[in-house]
Amino acid sequence: MGPEAKRSELIYEGKAKKLYKTDDPNLLVQEFKDDATAFGATKHGIINQKGVINNRISEIVFKLLESKGVATHFVQRLSPREMLIKKVKVIPLEITIRNIVAGGMAKLLGLEEGLILKEPVLEYHYKEDNLHDPMINEYHIKALGLANTADLKVINSVSFQINNILKSFFDRKHLILVDFKLEFGKHKGKILLGDEVSPDTCRLWDKTTKEKLDKDRFRMDLGGVEDAYHEVLRRLEVGN
Ligand code: TMP
């Protein structure tokens, strides 16, 4: 299916994206919205052009990851706000990788934002909005059947591989990858990276000034939100 792929029925609407069926049962269209939420959707706003920027940034990142052997759900970008993706059975986990302390880890453990971790930290969160995506461990995951041992092994190693790839990629763009969140799903028995990779799902700081260039500008009312997203895309597009 090419860019002429026709989307049909809306099958899911989340906080930042919509999913539509296509005439191929294995493929969906993922549409990126400008809506932004934080703190369990208690804070809501519109970031002008965010959908267009995150679609393009995700395309660049998915293509990079695929080129390094990471299997993703990305097929191709269709339009400014739409990408064609493989349909997956979503594994209801959010995998967070942290290189530097910020956000949830700073709060949970009473740590100073900016502390450089001796090694990356991987966290699992149960993907359930009503519970605000609580942190869980491997025992919860296996006991509840959210993923099996073999799947978790793949998810862990792919997540750290993605961290290595993205840390050096963003570094070349003069950005520090502080932390990020990944979601995985299963397509024809294979685990694929899903969702999006964008300033909504990564913390990115300018390497020199440590200026925040991600959704924390929205979460913390820092201003300049749209400019920050534009700046990340501008840097990523150099050489792409
Ligand atoms: P946290 O510090 O708030 O747990 O966030 C860790 C990373 O995950 C950060 O880069 C932002 C991203 N994230 C999401 O993509 N979705 C979410 O719902 C949350 C809470 C964080």
pLDDT band at 92 (very low <50, low <70, confident <90, very high): very high
Look at the block and give the residue holding tokens 């969906």: 28
Which residue range forms the structural domain that includes residue 25?
3-86
Residue ending a domain, choose from 38, 69, 86: 86
Encode pLDDT of 58-80 as tens digits: 999 999 999 999 999 999 999 99
Residue ending a domain, choose from 86, 106, 134: 86
Residue 38 shares a structural domain with residue 118: no
Residue 181 shares a structural domain with residue 165: yes
The CATH number that applies at residue 156 is 3.30.470.20
Give which of 94, 196, 71 is closest to 147, Cα–Cα. 94
Percent of the chain predicted with pLDDT > 70: 98
- Which residue among 105, 166, 179 is best mutated to probe the pocket of ligand 1, counting the most ligand atoms within 8 A of its Cβ? 179
C-alpha to C-alpha distance for 32 and 29, rounded to whole angstroms = 10
Residue 45 shares a structural domain with residue 97: no
By alpha-carbon position, which residue is closest to atom 11 of ligand 1?
201
By alpha-carbon position, which residue is closest to atom 14 of ligand 1?
201
The CATH number that applies at residue 63 is 3.30.200.20
Residue 138 shares a structural domain with residue 194: yes
Encode pLDDT of 113-158 as tens digits: 999 999 999 999 999 999 999 999 999 999 999 999 999 999 999 9
